[in-house]
Amino acid sequence: MNKVALQVLFCVCSLQPAAMEKKHPKLVLFVLMFFIITISQPISSLDFVFNGFNNSTDVLLYGIADIDSSNILTLTNETDFVVGRGLYSSKIPTKSHNSSHVLPFSTSFIFSMTPSSNKETLPGHGIVFIFTPSPGIDGTTSSQHLGLFNLTNDGDSDNHVFGVEFDVFLNQEFEDMDDNHVGIDVNSLKSTSSHTAGYWPDNGDQGFEELKLNSGENYQVWIEYADSVVNVTMAPVGTKRPKRPLLNVSLDLSDVFEDEMYVGFTSSTGRLVQSHRILAWSFSNSNFRLNEGLITTGLPSFIIPKTPFYKHRSFIVGVTMGSFIVLVLIALFSLFFVKKKARERAAMEDWEFEYWPHKMTYREIDAATDGFSDENVIGFGGNGKVHKGVLQGGTEIAVKRISHENDGMREFLAEVSSLGRLTHRSLVSLKGWCKKEKGTFMLVYDYMENGSLDKRIYYDCDETKMLNYNDRIRIIKDVASAILYLHEGWEAKVLHRDIKASNVLLDKYMNGRLGDFGLARMHGHGQAASTTRVVGTVGYLAPEVFRCQRASTRTDVFSFGILILEVICGRRPIEEGKPGLVNWVWELMMQNQLLAAVDPRLRTDDEEVDKVLHLGLLCSYPDPNSRPTMRQVVKVLEGKNEPCEAETEDMEAYLLHKVKTRDMWINYSRSFGYALHPTIDNIRRSHSSFMSLSWTNSVVEGR
């Protein structure tokens, strides 16, 4: 075992370029090993993002808790003396296998507390985010116990409960600091530490800004735990997460947590009542950026409107003062209502526009694009042209016009029906749609100022438009996080199936955003993709797609690997008269010349480039089972250092694995007789008979 390990150590070492080897060979090696160990470990972690809750499948409900018709988790309504609790549907692991090390976690949620519109009742009592060993609400009472404990078990170390309370009542028995605070509760409602609710805005010296918890406003909360430190941060929804946490507390949870716990929310009312709602929730043990998947715009508001003037007593007195005044007022009144109605309608549409793809009229789009004039054409998709447009409010949009009867219809439905609901920082979002007559559809997207990535990376692109190294790495990371979101961050698994440079668009700030979902498919998590026709773009298609015509998340990983290589090498995946990109890079790696593959115009000696190229090769490996998952890819790209146990054992396991893959690679190329990654000619020869394919950078016909 050890001997083999040593040999391979030597072997991997020699893969490093000579220059780097002199500087810090051990370090490079170790870093590489470390990533690989972390990615090859079985990960017993959990992630989920709920933008709205699904009745009964997502959460367990206890007490009065319910999921209302708009998919909001309503812990309590205005019924008095009740408890409501919602927990994630199963127990989750909270400790590393066979050890007392508590897994790090990051969670974010959006809540709203709305007092009763009846001014006579006082509002109370609050929401607690909890980890608890058992489901149900036995041993809890309402009112000041927040549905967390009861009179006898409060403070008992056998509770094994950790909570973060958002409390709006000053309880002297629990030494509460005020009637609007956030506190850390360990087995007891007496908080170990607490702070008045609020936040420190990032820029400026305004100092602390208090937030009134039960104003009906929607607030977002972030709770993170790692290395025995827990951070709690909150801000009004839509605000960027403040840098300085509200609570930053040293807290060892290893005695509090059992190996597996339930996680969720609990809440209660007493004589004091208010509605407690959770609008969205994300949780992850490994990806601390998963919370970016929460949708923070277009949420319903529960703020209680002020009493309108016409309900005031003085108004009624006014009415009795004379018929003349009454008539005038009635006139004003109806005007007011008409205006209000109109405003309401407008507001509703803005809301829809933010939250849901919105149906637009043909006239609106026609006006925005100057009647689809040729000057405004900014691109060509598979089924039609893409025009630039400006809406009346000044919002810039891109409009894709699809005409084809059948295939166009399929593409249109794929994008609007479900994919239109995907929201992520690094996806091009669908803003609206329009259907005109039979067979003409329009899809409206955010306009991307800087066009597509393929125009800015290849060696023959315009020197002034070329992206520098840091931009390229950032864009790779953006795209990776978007694909991870598609694969794992949403209620259904989404395969993009057409990841390539021309489908990566660049916004105003040169952030990469993945677009064009015309070929995407959705699957329930855990469901295998069904056999479909071969779709995608030659050069980015994984070998198994040709062999068994089956797409999976692994085929997206393959295309992403190709994308990495082309972005770093500045070369198209397939070019007439040249070896295929992957083969070329692989050959260079075998000759210890990997860095020669890097686009010479980038002039970088960043160590990261070596790691990224290796990653690109691993992703585009012909055997799908040897490719990493998107989660592992994101981890490597982010360079997340996580504590891991049993290093030595895993390192050996990994090294053996690596040897195998190198051999496999060589075997693979031998047994297939031609290049691992087909060139244009190979494909032409072997596949032209049963597929209609077009070449690099254009979409396959006949979807």
Ligand X SMILES: *[C@@H]1O[C@H](CO)[C@@H](O)[C@H](O)[C@H]1NC(C)=O
Please give the positions annotated as active site: 498
The residue whose two tokens read 């004589």 is 271
Q: Do 516 and 498 form a contact (C-beta atoms < 8 A)?
A: yes
**Phi, psi of 514, deg, nearest 5:** -80, 135
Q: Out of 229, 653, 664, 680, which residue is the one contacting ligand X (CB under 6 A)?
A: 229
Angle at 702 between CA 698 and CA 703, to 5 degrees: 85
Q: Which amino acid belongs to residue 513?
A: R
**Phi, psi of 311, deg, nearest 5:** -95, -10
Q: Out of 45, 89, 171, 231, which residue is the one contacting ligand X (CB under 6 A)?
A: 231
Compare residues 378 and 653 and give the one whose CB is closer to ligand X. Answer: 653
How far CA 609 is from CA of 257, 292, 375, 569, 621, in Å, comes to 41, 26, 40, 10, 18
Compare residues 226 and 386 and give the one whose CB is closer to ligand X. Answer: 226
Exposed e or buried b for every residue in 533-556, given b needs 16+ CB within 10 A? ebbbbbbbbbbbbbeeebbbbbbb
Query: Shortest approach of ligand X to residue 58 CB, angstroms?
Result: 8
Q: Do 326 and 319 form a contact (C-beta atoms < 8 A)?
A: yes
CA dihedral 158, 160, 161, 162 (to 10 degrees): 130
d(CA 685, CA 124) in angstroms, rounded, equals 73
d(CA 379, CA 692) in angstroms, rounded, equals 22
Name the binding residues: 400
| Residue 395 near ligand X by CB under 6 A | no
| Residue 19 near ligand X by CB under 6 A | no
Query: Shortest approach of ligand X to residue 493 CB, angstroms?
Result: 12
The pair of structure tokens assigned to 317 is 């007195």
Q: Out of 45, 153, 429, 604, which residue is the one contacting ligand X (CB under 6 A)?
A: 153
d(CA 406, CA 703) in angstroms, rounded, equals 10
Residue 40: other Cβ atoms inside 10 A = 16
DSSP 215: G
**Phi, psi of 386, deg, nearest 5:** -115, 125
Q: Do 665 and 618 form a contact (C-beta atoms < 8 A)?
A: no
The pair of structure tokens assigned to 658 is 């690596």
The residue whose two tokens read 């609990």 is 266
Q: Out of 98, 172, 203, 531, which residue is the one contacting ligand X (CB under 6 A)?
A: 98
d(CA 27, CA 14) in angstroms, rounded, equals 14
Residue 84: alpha-carbon gap to chain centroid? 28
Compare residues 58 and 478 and give the one whose CB is closer to ligand X. Answer: 58
Compare residues 75 and 398 and give the one whose CB is closer to ligand X. Answer: 75
Check residue 219 and give left, alpha or beta (phi > 0: left; psi -120 to 50: alpha): beta
Compare residues 82 and 545 and give the one whose CB is closer to ligand X. Answer: 82
Indicate the burial class of 146 (C-beta count within 10 angstroms; 0-12, 13-18, 19 or more). Answer: buried
- Binding track, positions 41-80, relative to ligand X; x by CB under 6 A: -------------xxxx------x-x----x-----xxx-
Query: What DSSP assignment string belongs to 474-535?
Result: HHHHHHHHHHHHHHHSSSEEEE-----GGGEEE-TT--EEE---TT-EEEETTPPPPP----
Compare residues 96 and 679 and give the one whose CB is closer to ligand X. Answer: 96
Q: Do 502 and 563 form a contact (C-beta atoms < 8 A)?
A: no
d(CA 582, CA 588) in angstroms, rounded, equals 10
Compare residues 64 and 510 and give the one whose CB is closer to ligand X. Answer: 64
Query: Shortest approach of ligand X to residue 252 CB, angstroms?
Result: 12
d(CA 507, CA 428) in angstroms, rounded, equals 9
Compare residues 162 and 445 and give the one whose CB is closer to ligand X. Answer: 162
Q: Which amino acid belongs to residue 696?
A: T
Query: For ligand X, which stretch binds (CB under 6 A), given 202-210, 245-253, 472-480, 693-701?
Result: 245-253
Q: Which residue is nearest to ligand X (CB)?
A: 139
| Residue 151 near ligand X by CB under 6 A | yes
Compare residues 224 and 292 and give the one whose CB is closer to ligand X. Answer: 224
Q: Out of 10, 26, 119, 152, which residue is the one contacting ligand X (CB under 6 A)?
A: 152
Compare residues 171 and 669 and give the one whose CB is closer to ligand X. Answer: 171
Name the binding residues for ATP: 400
Query: Shortest approach of ligand X to residue 53 CB, angstroms?
Result: 9
Query: Shortest approach of ligand X to residue 373 CB, angstroms?
Result: 41
d(CA 620, CA 568) in angstroms, rounded, equals 14
Scan residues 250-309 and list those touching ligand X (CB under 6 A). Answer: 250
Q: Out of 167, 224, 415, 498, which residue is the one contacting ligand X (CB under 6 A)?
A: 224
**Judging by DSSP bridges, how do beta strands 430-436 and 358-359 pair with one another?**
parallel
Q: Out of 226, 326, 377, 409, which residue is the one contacting ligand X (CB under 6 A)?
A: 226
The residue whose two tokens read 């692991």 is 93
Query: Shortest approach of ligand X to residue 79 CB, angstroms?
Result: 5
β-bridge mates for residue 76, sequence order: 276
Q: Out of 123, 147, 216, 245, which residue is the one contacting ligand X (CB under 6 A)?
A: 245
Query: For ligand X, which stretch binds (CB under 6 A), given 149-157, 312-320, 380-388, 683-691?
Result: 149-157
Query: Shortest approach of ligand X to residue 173 CB, angstroms?
Result: 14
d(CA 600, CA 581) in angstroms, rounded, equals 16
| Residue 100 near ligand X by CB under 6 A | no
| Residue 492 near ligand X by CB under 6 A | no
Query: Shortest approach of ligand X to residue 457 CB, angstroms?
Result: 34
**Rg for the chain (alpha carbons), in Å?**
29
SS3 content of the chain, % helix, strand, coil (to 5): 35, 20, 45
The pair of structure tokens assigned to 481 is 């996080």
Query: Shortest approach of ligand X to residue 54 CB, angstroms?
Result: 4
**Judging by DSSP bridges, how do beta strands 209-210 and 260-268 pair with one another?**
unpaired
Q: Out of 133, 139, 451, 624, which residue is the one contacting ligand X (CB under 6 A)?
A: 139
Query: Shortest approach of ligand X to residue 110 CB, angstroms?
Result: 18
| Residue 150 near ligand X by CB under 6 A | yes
How big is the site for ligand X, counted in residues (CB under 6 A)?
Answer: 25
Query: Shortest approach of ligand X to residue 224 CB, angstroms?
Result: 4
Query: For ligand X, which stretch binds (CB under 6 A), given 171-179, 205-213, 219-227, 391-399?
Result: 219-227
Compare residues 140 and 383 and give the one whose CB is closer to ligand X. Answer: 140
Q: Which residue in 399, 421, 558 sits closest to 483, CA to CA?
A: 558
Residues that bind ligand X (CB under 6 A): 54-57, 64, 66, 71, 77-79, 98, 138-139, 150-153, 224-226, 229, 231, 245, 248, 250
